[in-house]
Structure 1
Amino acid sequence: MDMIVAPPTWVFLWAVLLGAALGVCYDVFRILRIAIPSGRILVFFEDLLFFLIVAAATFEFYQLTTDGIVRGYVLIGELLGFALYYFTIGALVFRAATAIIHLIQRIIGWLVKVFLWPFRKLFAPLIRKLVRQMKKPAARLKKLCKKRKNSLQKKGNLLYNHYKTKKAPPANRNEGKPKWRKRRSKRKKGKKTSSSRSH
């Protein structure tokens, strides 16, 4: 039968079948998400890919059946076929697929445990000994780090600080000067007093 000259009833039925096929495609994506855990970014790209498949399939269907003319009953047929599959056969297929996937995951996990059991028995005591031996040097390193931190700190300044605290100015002007400067200042004062008396 030539799809191009088909009456609208046949086109509608073919659209229902197309919608059911798109439902199967959507179930494939859902089952893959359960089998392979995916994040939000991967889910977004999967949804985008599904919508691109739907758009391409609908466009090709219009080209084959209505000569590229958009008909509303075609979209209604696709939605009806998708809903019929999704809520009847699709629900059963999805439940069966999830049960099978969980069973396979449990079997694989059990096989991995059985395979790794002898290695655990052999290497577990060695790992425990290594952990115990590494505790003492780790504690020593912590103590050394604390001591170094305390040695870097001083009362007034820090060695890694560029800014030094300003010293308080001396109470007397001659306090910070050497002794010979003090003597000179006393001699100058004596000369000044003698000159004032002579006048």
Structure 2
Amino acid sequence: MDSVRKTFDKWAKNGRADLMEKEHGKNAIKILKTISFDKPFLFLDFGCGNGWIVRRISKDPFCKKAVGIDKSKNMIIEANKKKINNNEEYANTDLENFKFNNKFDIIFSMESLYYVDSIELALKKIYKLLKPGGKFFCGTDFYSDNKATAKWAKMMKIQMHLHSKQEWISFFKEAGFETKTKQVKDLKNKKKWKREFGTLFIIGKKPERQSSN
């Protein structure tokens, strides 16, 4: 079992999954509120944890299906325990092996992408999973511009890819995305880095028209 899966299996059992919802929920919801859900859509949360984002999205009247995937079996068990309606679907799988019959309108990921073996390959897979015009919202507190969080990898002793804001932008553009970023700060938080840097969201849009190359 890889160290990332082992760590999150442990967190699912000791209540850390619920803590992550409290830690990241405020900024994640700020971004979700900027998305225009004005027509029927399919939604994927990569690294869904206990399913808190999937549950929220599944209640939207235009949601056809909200899917959550996580490589931690225990996280998916927790997500299924908390399931509130039939629009939710969860799968214990990593991104590389995930398969779905339809393309997604929105893919979301909060504090997950930097755990993958290859960010480049992960972004290629996400690009393929999106419909033309679909968007990927990737949130991370762990980026090199934010010095306070750069020590997380050593503390956790698991694989975490640390990159700068500019490097993240480059990864997205190389995968074919039209790319922009947004810093979501929590100005009333006790932690200085949350007030000054906050969560970096890299937002990639799959072009409406695909290149013939």
Shared fold, TM over 0.5: no
Query: Which is richer in strand?
Result: 2
* Structure with greater contact order relative to length (CA < 8 Å, sep ≥ 6): 1
Query: Which is richer in helix?
Result: 1
- TM-score normalised by the chain length of structure 1: 0.21
Larger Rg over CA atoms: 1
- TM-score normalised by the chain length of structure 2: 0.20
